[in-house]
Chain A
């Protein structure tokens, strides 16, 4: 349909024209003025307490204690159950968060500015691996770390970023793609490149060598540090694409551990949701499918911009680990995703595919036509809160979301 084709051209143009810069780390209260006490932003589409999964509830209890709204976890849970805590999707407030993805007034958030359109996107700092809040961890260790991030680490990174005038992210991601990253399950190259940029600036701001070492080691020791930045840059790229009348391009994909939701440019802020699916992959020693939590997190914003599972051909290491099989199968996934997208990003290219650009601009019509659902490279959390990641694999976006979205878009266009 002519109207849709033109709208989609504009949508893709905006995606490719984005210029995301990592500019600062500031308190969430400053970044998101609407945030207040007892208000919690979470990953995924809207959801109420009674439908939340274990890790989400664990994280909520923990953050309520961290913020001082409850004096212990039990009290926090009672507050949550009785409606004294307010829950909203990160996406409604220009934010994204990995796994449980909780964002609250007291936490530091990274700021990515899309200089091409002037919009901003926010994401909390990556806590590291193992027992952390994003997997539902909420004990003293977790809260202590959050406090350190708020009081020491966050401000240090923020100061360094301001001194640098921000770090351009598009070219950094482009380099990471040539180094085996796909920015969802594998961020080690980008995390390293980021550290190279930040380290001298941070060093200038620290008098205490030990404190500096601790800060640098926190980034250096976390292969997935860049994940949260990749997510914020994804949000920064897709937000200007929202609300183009008639466009069938996906602007968000997200999960809350219970529901998978997508948003489409031409249908504005409507969420099209369906039950999340179980990832298929490999488990760390000692864990099996029986331990797995259903799919969760805002990190699917990364696939929405053509990275992650869509760029799997750039990351053969991930293909093997997540059980997709041979490296050549990773290439097939990227090719398959090429069938459901409208364009290829000329600035993010994959050497192994003859420098083809990553498949960009998911078209809900093509998803439904081909039966190929977006392929997502995801970490798998333990279903019990606080234990952490137990594996990694590939999960598909539910086809039902796209069927609903096509019906929804057709309705806005008066097509029956």
Chain B
């Protein structure tokens, strides 16, 4: 089939990434369109478009601040019709925002926003990574605390920003900070949990989400959940925000117990953090997912799983006490467990459970002691579908569950797979009905095929309503465990 490829470039044109994904999907579904995408022209995105066969010279020449439309269609007519439709969709919201006479005035700068709302205290920044550092700097200099949701920010910028933030006595959460709960308010991807006296500090978004939800389930509450960004505990950054967060929660009268969750940091950074923890009068739970051993000060306890971290913070309350993770009357099966995770830390926690049981496991994001996934792998597999290699040019599975569909289909059709392990993450920012989507995919397919075991990270107060999500899953035959750790344990028990 001979195809037509065309590009359209809009210089300096910004639409948020979620809006771009939606538009891309709409254009790709037009008649005669083979492939289409609208992306900001960063080098990485241009490579994606080139690989997809939809980039030509004009698109190649676009700058990171430009928007590129790439279309591959069966005919020139279909291509230009699709292009016209895309342009019309782009122009429509644009006209509203562009003229100085738009309905409601929206400031173009953080400076003007602060001018119109001088008591503002937090900037939530989610612009493309190339521009996030500059915006964060402006926000800090205007006296705001900052949460950078954006990723792909240079480490040198992160260090400079955090150093400046520390000087100014301002918290800089991020970059790549997907979750925070400040004064009881969920920010970005976070859950509605009761207020209480447990403070959380996390380099991992889903780690914070699962722990905060389990604490809620156990009858406790969260004073603050401070996200520090995925790279804060690296050698280069040295834990600047983590240390500031510990300092702040240490001095916070509402906080009695502090939980720290992250993947294991380097020894030097860990030592600095442990020293600061040791200097506190409060009790700490340290959850370095995947770490097997750690030297901790006296006032800190090591939790190897998120569930254990929540239980420890709750002074030993058992989460999901009535649940029989041994499988009880469930028939045992021969075969492997395939875990398909939207939450990276949930995939890591499942790996911890399997590793502690001595089970041969591989992953695309392995913890220490777990192998890297490759084609020849015959053992269990834990896949983090939110990892970079899966989300290039695609929405995160927490936003769009259909991203998991292909992998799910493959697992269901694979005769060697005995159990499929899944996580559903609820809360603000997440998809409105992940259980509904999954149930529709699984309808009628569970009579034959692998056992499906899932956990639902969320609370009753989340927009999706946890109990309803669980009911939807159970209706089609999914086994729902009270926590991700217990779901992994149950999976282990079925094949054990």
Q: Do chains A and B touch in the complex (CB under 8 A)?
A: yes
Please give the residue numbers on chain A whose beta carbons come within 8 Å of chain B beta carbons, in ascending order. Answer: 319, 324-326, 329-333, 335-339, 366, 369-372, 375
B116 to chain A: closest residue by CB? A335
The answer to whether A332 and B102 have CB atoms under 8 Å apart is yes
| Complex CA–CA separation, A67 to B492 (angstroms) | 101
A339 to chain B: closest residue by CB? B112
User: Which residue of A326, A330, A335 has the most chain B CB atoms within 10 A of its CB atom?
Assistant: A335
Write out the residue numbers on chain A whose beta carbons fall within 8 Å of the beta carbon of B99. Answer: 324, 329
Q: How far is the CB of B452 from chain A (nearest CB, A)?
A: 50
Starting from the known contacts A332-B105, A339-B112, A375-B100, 16 additional A-B residue pairs (CB-CB under 8 Å) come to: A319-B101, A324-B99, A324-B100, A326-B101, A329-B100, A329-B102, A330-B101, A332-B100, A333-B100, A333-B101, A335-B112, A336-B100, A336-B108, A338-B112, A370-B108, A371-B108
Q: Which residues of chain B from 100 to 115 have any CB-CB distance to chain A below 8 Å in the complex?
A: 100-102, 105, 107-109, 111-112, 115
Write out the residue numbers on chain A whose beta carbons fall within 8 Å of the beta carbon of B115. Answer: 338
The answer to whether B112 and A325 have CB atoms under 8 Å apart is no
Q: How far is the CB of B480 from chain A (nearest CB, A)?
A: 49
Known A-B contacts A329-B100, A371-B12, A375-B100; the reply to A336 vs B109 at CB < 8 A is no
Write out the residue numbers on chain B whose beta carbons fall within 8 Å of the beta carbon of A372. Answer: 100, 108
Q: Which of A319, A331, A337, A370 is B109 in contact with, Cβ under 8 Å?
A: A370
| Complex CA–CA separation, A337 to B108 (angstroms) | 11
| Complex CA–CA separation, A375 to B98 (angstroms) | 12
Known A-B contacts A339-B107, A371-B12; the reply to A332 vs B101 at CB < 8 A is yes
| Complex CA–CA separation, A236 to B102 (angstroms) | 34
Write out the residue numbers on chain B whose beta carbons fall within 8 Å of the beta carbon of A338. Answer: 112, 115
| Complex CA–CA separation, A325 to B107 (angstroms) | 19
B113 to chain A: closest residue by CB? A339
A333 to chain B: closest residue by CB? B100
| Complex CA–CA separation, A77 to B99 (angstroms) | 41
The answer to whether A329 and B101 have CB atoms under 8 Å apart is yes
Q: How far is the CB of B281 from chain A (nearest CB, A)?
A: 44
| Complex CA–CA separation, A366 to B100 (angstroms) | 16
Q: How far is the CB of A317 from chain B (nearest CB, A)?
A: 15
Write out the residue numbers on chain B whose beta carbons fall within 8 Å of the beta carbon of A333. Answer: 100-101
Write out the residue numbers on chain B whose beta carbons fall within 8 Å of the beta carbon of A375. Answer: 100
Q: How far is the CB of A399 from chain B (nearest CB, A)?
A: 9
Q: Which of B12, B105, B111 is A335 in contact with, Cβ under 8 Å?
A: B105
Write out the residue numbers on chain B whose beta carbons fall within 8 Å of the beta carbon of A326. Answer: 101
A396 to chain B: closest residue by CB? B100
Write out the residue numbers on chain B whose beta carbons fall within 8 Å of the beta carbon of A339. Answer: 107-109, 111-112
Q: How far is the CB of B11 from chain A (nearest CB, A)?
A: 10
Q: How far is the CB of B260 from chain A (nearest CB, A)?
A: 38
| Complex CA–CA separation, A330 to B12 (angstroms) | 25
The answer to whether B105 and A336 have CB atoms under 8 Å apart is yes
| Complex CA–CA separation, A201 to B101 (angstroms) | 43
- Bitwise, B300-343 to A at CB < 8 A (1) or not (0) is 00000000000000000000000000000000000000000000
Q: How far is the CB of A280 from chain B (nearest CB, A)?
A: 9
Write out the residue numbers on chain A whose beta carbons fall within 8 Å of the beta carbon of B111. Answer: 339
Q: How far is the CB of A366 from chain B (nearest CB, A)?
A: 8
Q: How far is the CB of B72 from chain A (nearest CB, A)?
A: 31
| Complex CA–CA separation, A225 to B101 (angstroms) | 28
Sampled A-B contacts (18; CB under 8 Å) = A329-B99, A329-B101, A332-B100, A332-B101, A332-B102, A333-B101, A335-B112, A336-B100, A336-B108, A337-B100, A338-B112, A338-B115, A339-B108, A339-B111, A366-B109, A369-B109, A371-B108, A372-B100
Q: How far is the CB of A378 from chain B (nearest CB, A)?
A: 15
Q: How far is the CB of A326 from chain B (nearest CB, A)?
A: 8
- Bitwise, B1-44 to A at CB < 8 A (1) or not (0) is 00000000000100000000000000000000000000000000
User: Which residue of B100, B101, B107, B112 has the most chain A CB atoms within 10 A of its CB atom?
Assistant: B100
Q: Which 5 pairs of residues, A with B, have the shortest CB-CB distance?
A: A329-B101, A333-B100, A370-B108, A336-B100, A332-B105
| Complex CA–CA separation, A117 to B102 (angstroms) | 40
Write out the residue numbers on chain B whose beta carbons fall within 8 Å of the beta carbon of A369. Answer: 109
Write out the residue numbers on chain A whose beta carbons fall within 8 Å of the beta carbon of B107. Answer: 339
Write out the residue numbers on chain B whose beta carbons fall within 8 Å of the beta carbon of A337. Answer: 100
Q: How far is the CB of B136 from chain A (nearest CB, A)?
A: 15
Write out the residue numbers on chain B whose beta carbons fall within 8 Å of the beta carbon of A325. Answer: 101
| Complex CA–CA separation, A358 to B101 (angstroms) | 17
Write out the residue numbers on chain B whose beta carbons fall within 8 Å of the beta carbon of A366. Answer: 109
| Complex CA–CA separation, A336 to B115 (angstroms) | 12
| Complex CA–CA separation, A397 to B115 (angstroms) | 25
Write out the residue numbers on chain A whose beta carbons fall within 8 Å of the beta carbon of B100. Answer: 324, 329, 332-333, 336-337, 372, 375
A399 to chain B: closest residue by CB? B12
A371 to chain B: closest residue by CB? B12
Write out the residue numbers on chain A whose beta carbons fall within 8 Å of the beta carbon of B108. Answer: 336, 339, 370-372
B115 to chain A: closest residue by CB? A338
| Complex CA–CA separation, A371 to B343 (angstroms) | 38
Q: How far is the CB of A337 from chain B (nearest CB, A)?
A: 8
| Complex CA–CA separation, A319 to B101 (angstroms) | 10
| Complex CA–CA separation, A370 to B135 (angstroms) | 12
B112 to chain A: closest residue by CB? A339
Q: How far is the CB of A360 from chain B (nearest CB, A)?
A: 15
B12 to chain A: closest residue by CB? A371
Write out the residue numbers on chain B whose beta carbons fall within 8 Å of the beta carbon of A330. Answer: 101
Q: How far is the CB of A290 from chain B (nearest CB, A)?
A: 22
| Complex CA–CA separation, A370 to B99 (angstroms) | 13
Q: How far is the CB of B118 from chain A (nearest CB, A)?
A: 14
Write out the residue numbers on chain B whose beta carbons fall within 8 Å of the beta carbon of A370. Answer: 108-109
